[in-house]
Structure 1
Amino acid sequence: MKRSFSLPDRVLLAAGLGLVAATYGLVRLAYGLFLPDVQHDLGFGADVGGAVSSGASVVYCVGAVGGSVLAARAARWLVVAATVTAGVGALVMASSPTTAVFGTAAVGASAGAGLASPAMVQLVTDRIPADRRGRAQAVVNSGTGPGLVAAGVLALVLLPDWRTAWAVAGALTLAVGAVLFLAAGRPERGGTPALPGRSWFVAQTVPVVVALLFGAGSAVVWTYGRSTLVDAGVPTTATVVAWIALGVGGSTVAATARWTSAMAPRRQWVLTTTVAAGAVLALGLLPGSVEVTLASCALFGWGYTAATGALIAWTAAIDPEQVAAGTSVLFVVLVAGQAVGAAVAGVLVGTVGTTTTFVAAGVLVAVSSGLSLHTGDLRTAVATR
């Protein structure tokens, strides 16, 4: 039976969840929430919106790669870099006078989430006992959900004043990052793990492929989810509540972490991505039904967030000593898929319409789930490095 977390562990996990909530939910993924209002004020179309989302994904990847290299040596200072990048970026977005300034700030702010993930994986690995580490990683990773809820509440209270919403998001990000830096104040672990060898990268092949497909398919929800509801005639308040439902679904991952972390990684992946695929299809086929939309958003929020947790469990099963590096690799690939998916979706929405675009995206997510059914046992560890 797994023991409960100690008080210092709980503080660290709460602060880490807060950083993930801020950098992902309040800054990176909230872009799609505020996009219709930003487009209205600054005057740019779906193609530009997709290009900014794609660029943000690329910069996220750069941050995650850099973070994976530095995490073992300076995880606390990566927290600082993630906090400043996302927080200041959001503040610049709030004060942007032109599309160019806003787009540049949105792209740059996305690096904060890329830096935050390897930093938190490393902090948990260093400070949480092994028998509680899997659940701890799932809890911290679930921070995306509360961040989305917070962004949705800001939208309900402040929209169409998106500038004030981004300003509040930036200030909250800076505050929670400072708390985490203090909570992670114990000295870093001595030494660094050896660099992974060729066999390690070979063992990551299947999770890399399915993460890429899942990222490409999921991008349509994060970039055009609310825009699709607005275009379908859903009342503005209901579209924001739907975004909050995304966050509520993601938030429940912390409650289900004990259950999902007991599963084999492949089973986690199949379950969570199947739920996400069904939600994407429902959003594309019935965007005008408020009831279906709310349920689909909640299911997608849970499926997406839990699927990213499954990727952490997957790479940890391959090699527990390289979990920070493995997480960075898989998250980089997932977001690279989102970069491609957002750009392609931006073109498809304007040519074949939102329904076809969402259906294609849902099929792609389903393919990412189905491929993992034919990959054999995921418990294989890397014997040599």
Structure 2
Amino acid sequence: MKRSLLSASSRDTSLVVAATCFIAATYGLVRLAYGLFLPDVQASLGLTTATAGAVSSAASVAYCVGALCGSAAGRRRRVLVAAALTTAVAGSLGMATASGVASFATAAVVASTSAGLASPALVAVVQHHLDGPRGDRAQGVVNSGTGPGLVAAGVLAAALSPDWRTAFVVSAAVSAAAGLAVLLLDGPRGARARAHGPEARGVLAPRPQRTGPAAWSRLARPAGGALLLGAASAALWTYGRSLLVGAGLGAGWSTAAWIGVGVGGTVTAATAGLLSRRPAPTAWTLTCSGLAAALGLLGVAPSSRTAALLACVLAGWSFVAATTALISWSGAVLPGSVAGATATLFVTLVLGQAVGSTLVGAAAGGHGLPAAFVGAAVVALGASTCGWASSPGAPAPRTDRGAEGARGPWSRSGPPEVLTGPTTPTPGRRRRDGA
């Protein structure tokens, strides 16, 4: 636990731990686990590659719907937590008990909605209890849940494979336990709230300054990059393990590679300082290029254990760091409407994943997964070019808050994560991402 949390009450500390576990569950064990268990699901239910991509696309759209609903109802934090808990448990159990492709697909879409609801809900919960720098650091700790969640999913797959049904039952149980813990620990702010007044750290306060249509046009370049990044990353989140299993690595090494993705996303904190000293567009170009290299290596050498493991670690780092750069970029181009700008960019990113899942599935059906991954690498390179010759705008204030990663784009004072949803400090004040 970070130093700033040591002085907080044990109840607040427990709440932060529970919230972090809830993000790990809804993202790592529920939403992103779809791609991890896909080879086993295909073997059991006869799910085709193209259909798997279409299901992933629908799940990404559901994530966006959940995220937007959560943002609109940010003040009703307990309702949002309960909705995220319900959809996570119902979706996971639905996948575990699915008798065919249709029922599995429906459950997967419901499960993905949970992650979109969880991010804005937990932003509101943490802001309700913790103020100032301590609250900022608590948000960072909660943000870090996606990476460990991916690692936990990989360990679960290694222990249970090919029994994916039991794995989703475990995911439902963990989601239920973490969500209920958040609800039980979330209570009145007490003296701290009264001391700071009703507007202190409110989800929607202070009101951001108005930004005209001309200013919003500055989002065109980062939005284009976000769309391309989402489309390229869909290859990893939906078909990463399927590629490795098809190349002959087997369940053990393919699962280890997936764990590598989580490790890569978790350790981005080690490079946060280096990236934060560079303009956001420059960091964007660097990290998107890293994802392109990782996807290309997976496509060219999927049967090499060493290459696959290194590529997955690089992919995990690149994706999380790229979303962090995107967050900083939104704050640089629209400092007066940071939350709205970042929400727009992250929804665009996940919509890119929705499109990318379908396109990668179609390409794989005609040319094979290795060729589809090479194509995704080219798309990632295209995303990197969006940072070329781009003015970074005014620098944002420095902070040591954690990264959005895969969580979502919800903040009352700054930009968000993801997906799909990943854990590094950024140079701007922001808050919150898949598959």
Q: In the alignment, which residue of structure 2 is the partner of 1:292?
A: 307
Deviation at 1:257, TM superposition (A): 4.5
1:181 is displaced (CA, Å) by: 3.2
* CA shift for structure 1 position 251: 1.7
Aligned length: 379
Q: Does 1:273 align with 2:275?
A: no
Aligned to 1:49: 52
2:179 — aligned with what?
177
Shift of 1:230: 1.1
- 1:20 corresponds in structure 2 to 23
Residue aligning to 1:226: 241
Q: Secondary structure at the match of 2:388?
A: helix
- After superposing the two structures, state which structure 1 stretch, 298-307 or 152-161, moved more: 298-307
Whether the aligned pair in 2 keeps the contact of 1:208 and 1:330 (CA below 8 Å) is yes
Contact kept, 8 Å, 2:32 with 2:150, in 1: the verdict is yes
For residues 281 and 119 of structure 2, the distance between their equivalents in structure 1, rounded to whole angstroms, comes to 21
What amino acid does structure 2 have at the position aligned with 1:51?
Answer: A
* Mean Cα deviation higher: 188-197 or 270-279: 188-197
1:372 alignment partner AA: G
Label 1:301 to 1:133 Cα distance change in 2 as closer, same or farther (>3 A).
farther
Map 1:358-369 onto structure 2 (within 5 A): 358-369=373-384
Conserved in 1, the CA contact under 8 Å of 2:332 and 2:392?
no
Tell me the residue number matched to 2:64. Answer: 61
Contact 1:122 1:324 in 2 (8 A): no
The residue type paired with residue 53 of structure 2 is G
Q: CA deviation at 1:116?
A: 2.0
* TM-score, structure 1 normalization: 0.88
Give the CA deviation at 1:18: 2.1
Query: Which residue, out of 328, 344, 350, partners 1:335?
Result: 350
Worse-matched range after superposition: 244-253 or 316-325: 316-325
For 1:239, the aligned partner's letter is S
Letter in 2 for 1:35: L
Q: Matched residues, percent identical?
A: 48
In structure 2, relative to structure 1, the CA distance for the partners of 1:28 and 1:359 (3 Å cut) is same
For 1:266 and 1:10, the matched residues in 2 are separated by 36
The DSSP-based 3-state class of the residue aligned with 1:377 is coil
Displacement, 1:268?
3.6
Residues 1:317 and 1:377: Cα distance change in structure 2 (over 3 Å): closer
Shift of 1:208: 1.7
* Bigger Cα displacement from structure 2, 153-162 vs 115-124: 115-124
Q: Match of 1:155?
A: 157
Summarize the alignment of residues 255-270 of structure 1 with structure 2, pairs less than 5 Å apart: 255-257=270-272, 260-261=275-276, 264-270=279-285
1:262 CA displacement? 5.7
The superposition leaves residues 92-126 of structure 1 with CA deviations (integer Å, 9 ceiling, x where unpaired) of: 11111121111100011111111122334455566
Equivalent residues in 2 for 1:36-115 (5 A)? Answer: 36-71=39-74, 73-115=75-117
Which whole-Å deviations, capped at 9, do the CAs of 1:237-270 have from their partners, x for residues lacking one?
1111111111111121345556555654334423
The alpha-carbon deviation at position 300 of structure 1 amounts to: 0.8
Whole-Å separation in 2 of the counterparts to 1:27 and 1:219: 16
Structure 1 unmatched ranges of 5 or more: none
SS of the counterpart of 1:376? coil
RMSD (Å), alpha carbons: 2.8
* Matched position secondary structure for 1:315: helix
Cα separation, 1, equivalents of 2:79 and 2:185: 13
**Residue number in structure 2 paired with 1:198:** 212
Looking at secondary structure, tell me which structure has more helix per residue. Answer: 1
Give how far 1:235 is off: 2.2
Partner residue in 2 for 1:4: 4
